[in-house]
Amino acid sequence: MTAALPHTSPATMSLETALRERRSVRGYLPEPVPEAVLQEVFALAQLSPSNCNVQPWEVYVASGATRDELRRRFMAGVSSGKAMTPDAGFMPAVTGDHRTRQVDCAQALYGAMGIERGDKMGRMNATLRNFALFDAPHVCFLGMRREYGIPMALDVGMYAQSLMLVMTAHGIGSCAQGSMGYYPDDVRELFGISDDIAILFGISFGYEDTTVVANNARTTRAALQENVHIKS
């Protein structure tokens, strides 16, 4: 039995509530988000801040048959060992406190899923879930012109935050995924995108299936003084 769709009022949800409720959802109901809601969500995300109002983000939303074909290609690619060629590169190795937080995040996820540290097959299957879009009925890909580099990528990051908060306010779960940028040529081919657009990452989204145990995982945030430095 699948969980009931959430009921929420985007007009009355506070920003604080949206920030506290937003998290990475790794299991979805098959029910698609209605077209009218999609239009409203992405229209609101367009209000994101942008350096000189350039609005460099290019957003490609896959649903239905397009989503199914991308999912098939991603799963086939990773299962066959197809080389990954991300436009934005892979996540760099992190050290110190950053590494500790990364490990804590993995432990929270695998713990919720009941996967032991030495269970290599279990961990591999959990990784494959990324490329299956966590069964989300929708996935969007965020890109920009290749020549813009880091300064404009910051705008795309701000857009992504706005988008996921708006989704949260509408009762829509989401998961930002660097892995959705690992096979950018498949995305460009299916959407008819020219090669001068770099695909940075993707966001799987839809209505959360609360019966999926991975969705019980919770992470914490560092103490304020670890990241925020105020000087008078």
Task: Give the pLDDT of residue 50.
Answer: 97
What is the total residue count of the chain?
232
The answer to whether 188 touches 166, Cβ cutoff 8 Å, is no
Q: Give Cβ neighbours of residue 17 (< 8 Å, ≥ 6 apart).
A: none
Give a yes or no: residue 34 inside a domain: yes
Its domain, for residue 41, covers 15-90+132-217
User: Phi first, then psi: what are they for 109, rounded to 5°?
Assistant: -70, -55
The answer to the question of residue 110 being in a domain is no
Q: What is the pTM of this model?
A: 0.93
Is 203 part of any domain?
A: yes
Beta bridge partners of 221: none
Task: Indicate the DSSP class of residue 208.
Answer: B
pLDDT for 4 equals 40
Retrieve residue 122's tokens. 């279990």
Amino acid at 33: V
- Decide if 107 is inside a domain: no
Tell me the residue type at 83. A
Residue 223, pLDDT score:
96
Among residues 193, 93, 74, which one has the least CA distance to residue 142?
193
Cβ pair 138, 163 in contact under 8 A: no
Mean pLDDT, consecutive 10-residue segments, the chain of 232 residues?
A: 49 91 97 96 97 98 98 97 96 96 94 92 93 98 96 97 97 97 98 98 98 95 95 95
**Number of helical H runs and strand E runs in the chain:** 8, 4
> Based on the structure, what is the number of domains in the chain?
1
Asked whether the beta carbons of 166 and 157 are under 8 A apart, the reply is no
The per-residue pLDDT for 11 is 73
Q: What is the CATH number of the domain that holds 183?
A: 3.40.109.10
Q: What is the pLDDT of residue 12?
A: 80
pLDDT at 10: 75
| 8-state DSSP, 28 | B
